Amino acid sequence: MNNAELWQAALGEIELSISKANFSTWFKNTTILSNENGKVVIGVPNGFAKEWLENKYNTYIFRALRNFQDDIKEISCIIYSNEQAPLNEIKKMDSAAPVLEQQLVQEIQQGGNFAQRPIQPMMHTGQTNAPYENNINARYTFENFIIGENNELARAACFAVSQNLGKIYNPLFIYGGVGLGKTHLLQSIGNEVLANDPSRRIKYITSERFANELIDSIRNQTVNDFKSAYQAIDLLIIDDVQFLAGKEKTQNEFFHIFNALYQINKQIVISSDRPPKAIATLEDRLRSRFEGGMIADIGKPDIETRIAILKTKSAENNFYLDEEAIRFIAENVKNNIRELEGALNRIIAACEFNKKLPTLKFVQQALAEIISSGKKKGVQAQNVIEAISQYFNISTKELIEKGRKKEIAYARHIAMYLMRSELSASYPSIGTQFGGRDHTTALHAYEKINREMETDEKVREDVAVLRERIYAV
């Protein structure tokens, strides 16, 4: 057993004897630096952890280590960071550090052009210096991704993939609604892989940009270059793949690239707002390939996750919000994380502008416009009917008239369901909207869909997509 394995095993044991919060606070970024003659030296990230491990947890650590290696007699901690050398090794600034100096000079010079061009984070331009862009944004990492019940599986799958490119889940397909963190997860994979091995060739691209690049290459007659550039990639991340729907030529090219990468065990990660089988006009051969790997979904965050997100975000902004206010925001902004962040930003701005403290009352006022008792303004019965007729490709006339064809009846039921659940319309008024039907018809429809949603995945998907479309007006 080497030091890393020993420590992993010991940590596993310690984790069971102390609380999760304590464990993650005190044992994060710790490692065994040396293990000789029964003396173990543990590297810890700061002085607080050192004091704590030496004074409070030494018996736990001691016991855990002894389980695996019984000649351990002494444990000590030193402050150590695994990214850089410990402080006492930092020698005098040697004037022969031309690389760094050049970087600074360069950066300062580029700084003048700050406005015109974004700066590339050094960690990525540093070593590889490859002539292609990987489009990975260093802001998104697994560390700052907040895990909740809704995204556990997806996060675990993504993390596993980042540790074992192309070996376990290939392709990995992540789906979930707008603003729930798909892009964050996808980018995290890229960052994690780069952090472990900066020489890996990674490409993150949205399916729309992929299509545009392909069209450009067709116009410039450089399709072959385009293909070979993609086929040399270790990890290909395609975001929002649903936009490929209906673009046949692009799908075709994508299919070939996909196959080429898949055959040589290169990792492919794909995201979409719905599962592969729910993407209309996606070619069957692509669909079956997407379904061949691992599929994981991201659901809506539960209230605890939303609270955790708000706390993290407000801490990032150095902004203090009390429990009550956080709970209020989390209870009222439910649907997506981006909205949640928006609400928080709005409060921060309002506080700065009015120079007031974010009390519960102030927060309620600031958010009144967004939430207005939970319903978005401006959505009416007409919007629902239009959205339904577009989605199912049925004319509004058919939807309202007496026809009882199965597809039409299903669409009508969903429309009634949404009017009830989203607009809180009364059953009689729903009946009237649909050509003077009886209120019991509407009642039946609502209950039927409600029931089916519990058992039928497809119904759930349809309702979720439609609900988003209604509010997207």
For binding to other proteins (CB under 8 A), which residues are involved? 21-22, 24-25, 45-52, 55-56, 78-81, 83-88, 90-93, 95, 97, 100-101, 103-105, 107-109, 111-116, 119, 121-123, 138, 308, 311-312, 315, 318, 320
State the minimum distance, in angstroms, from the CB of residue 46 to other proteins.
Answer: 5
CB nearer to other proteins: give 55 or 129.
55
State the minimum distance, in angstroms, from the CB of residue 401 to other proteins.
Answer: 54
CB nearer to other proteins: give 9 or 360.
360
Distance CA 452, CA 459 (A): 7
Longest dimension (CA), the chain: 88
Distance CA 118, CA 97 (A): 26
> What is the token pair recorded at 48?
């607080």
> What is the token pair recorded at 84?
């850089």
State the minimum distance, in angstroms, from the CB of residue 109 to other proteins.
Answer: 6
CB nearer to other proteins: give 26 or 434.
26
CB nearer to other proteins: give 60 or 68.
60
Q: Are 173 and 294 in contact (CB under 8 A)?
A: yes
Distance CA 258, CA 268 (A): 8
Q: Is the dihedral of CA 105, 107, 112, 117 positive or negative?
A: positive
State the minimum distance, in angstroms, from the CB of residue 83 to other proteins.
Answer: 7
Q: Are 358 and 349 in contact (CB under 8 A)?
A: no
Distance CA 266, CA 201 (A): 11
CB nearer to other proteins: give 138 or 409.
138
State the minimum distance, in angstroms, from the CB of residue 473 to other proteins.
Answer: 31
Q: Are 142 and 155 in contact (CB under 8 A)?
A: yes
State the minimum distance, in angstroms, from the CB of residue 212 to other proteins.
Answer: 26
CB nearer to other proteins: give 266 or 306.
306
State the minimum distance, in angstroms, from the CB of residue 315 to other proteins.
Answer: 5
State the minimum distance, in angstroms, from the CB of residue 70 to other proteins.
Answer: 29
351: phi > 0 → left, psi -120 to 50 → alpha, else beta; which?
alpha
> What is the token pair recorded at 284?
């069957």
Check residue 244 and report its DSSP letter: G
CB nearer to other proteins: give 86 or 246.
86
Q: What is the DSSP string of 21-51?
A: HHHHHHHTT-EEEEEETTEEEEEESSHHHHH
CB nearer to other proteins: give 296 or 351.
351
CB nearer to other proteins: give 122 or 473.
122
Distance CA 26, CA 173 (A): 35
Say which residue the tokens 């697994």 belong to: 142
Say which residue the tokens 């309620």 belong to: 364
State the minimum distance, in angstroms, from the CB of residue 122 to other proteins.
Answer: 6
Distance CA 75, CA 97 (A): 38
